[in-house]
Amino acid sequence: MGITIRGDWKGSPEWDMGYASFFRLRRDVAYFVSKEFGDHYANLTRINPFDANEYDGITKWLIKKYHCKKRCIDFLYAPDSGYRLSPFKCKAVLDLIANGEETGIDNKTLYGYTARPENCMTIYNFIDLLAACYDKRKALVWY
């Protein structure tokens, strides 16, 4: 079981990855908001259900602090499968990456099944996919 991420048009590039790889992709996008936001997002896998209200409160505070667009937050906190990210949300994530505080884009990180590295996605593949979704006015889907 895993996730396939692709554009919603025939012939779109697509990548298969496990849930952990998909989380790492979203975590890495969260770091484009700020290191503080990325570190907080990384804690998502460690929260106790009883502490969820505290996590949510900090999330809301960080969203305000860094003036995060709701369209970007939708990508970060959308369900892990069965989601359609609109072209305009794709553009917001694309803008976040382009204007993020991170000092550089690491194109060596692979998202996918590393036993088949030729089929793994890099952050540049993701940027290209977001741009194509926006240009074609098609959704980014994962399932």
Calculate what percentage of the chain has a pLDDT beyond 70. Answer: 97
Model confidence, pTM: 0.91
C-alpha closest to that of 123 among 140, 138, 109: 109
Closest C-alpha to 56, from 32, 28, 77: 77
pLDDT at 104: 64
Q: Find the domain containing 45 and state its range.
A: 3-142
Mean pLDDT of 14-28: 95
Q: Which amino acid is at 39?
A: D
39-43: long-range pairs with CB below 8 Å, 24+? 41/76
pLDDT at 1: 72
26 pLDDT more than 90? yes
Query: Does residue 48 have a pLDDT over 90?
Result: no
pLDDT exceeds 60 at position 67: yes
* Of the ranges 3-7, 31-35, 46-50, 52-56, the best mean pLDDT one: 3-7
Task: Tell me how far apart the alpha carbons of residues 92 and 38 are, in angstroms, rounded to a whole number.
Answer: 17
Region 106-132: what's the mean pLDDT? Answer: 89
Give the pLDDT confidence score for residue 115 in this predicted structure.
Answer: 76
Residue carrying structure tokens 């990855």: 17
Percentage of the chain lying above the pLDDT 90 cut? 78
Tally of domains within the chain: 1
Mean of the per-residue pLDDT values of the chain: 92
